[in-house]
Chain A
Amino acid sequence: EAGVTQFPSHSVIEKGQTVTLRCDPISGHDNLYWYRRVMGKEIKFLLHFVKESKQDESGMPNNRFLAERTGGTYSTLKVQPAELEDSGVYFCASSQGPLETQYFGPGTRLLVL
């Protein structure tokens, strides 16, 4: 069974540009989560989808971040316009049910210059 996949693995952009990250959860997992780790600190929650609905977006830093999960399959996280402090590793995770263990993807390393 394929795990959580994320694309791209790395992205280097300039401040003010737009970047879109993609996450494909494990097949059949209705719950999809986005997290971010900045500069070796803790991994911080961004938001949680149940199918195509946003269950919890309390961790989204500001309105420059937009997450979507059309059709309840893969999800995208768009940062527009990107700022220097958005640099970090963005992880996606999925679980079958909300109380089930979350399985993480390899992450997208974003560097904003």
Chain B
Amino acid sequence: DQQVKQNSPSLSVQEGRISILNCDYTNSMFDYFLWYKKYPAEGPTFLISISSIKDKNEDGRFTVFLNKSAKHLSLHIVPSQPGDSAVYFCAASMASGTYKYIFGTGTRLKVLA
């Protein structure tokens, strides 16, 4: 039973436009969410995170939005650049108890020049 879902396996966006990657979760106990970016043959690289007490966190071109009532988060990349082409993983964790990350299956983003 997958607790974190990324329903879009792939996404193509023109350079300069906005990329929106979506993630849904089922466990209401999750209180910390992260996005990782992964290039081929490399490990996941931390991108941005958000605590459940917030609904938005911004870092440069990257913004994460959290909608707790819908159990949904999204990553916005504006403007998208060819170097952003990678697989993006959404992850969730609980501050209490275990500290493991629960990952989604990833969305492959391709930014077209």
Contacts and interface: CB of A to CB of B under 8 A. Distances in A.
Interface residues of B, number: 24
Given A91-B43, A103-B46, A104-B45, A42 B104 contact: yes
Contacts of B98: 48, 55-56, 58
A21 interface: no
A41 B99 contact: no
A106 B89 contact: no
Contacts of A48: 98-100
Interface string A24-37: 00000001010100
A56 B93 CA distance: 14
Given A43-B44, A105-B43, 19 more contacts: A31-B99, A41-B105, A42-B4, A42-B89, A42-B103, A42-B105, A42-B106, A43-B101, A48-B100, A58-B98, A58-B100, A99-B95, A102-B46, A104-B36, A104-B45, A104-B46, A106-B41, A106-B42, A107-B42
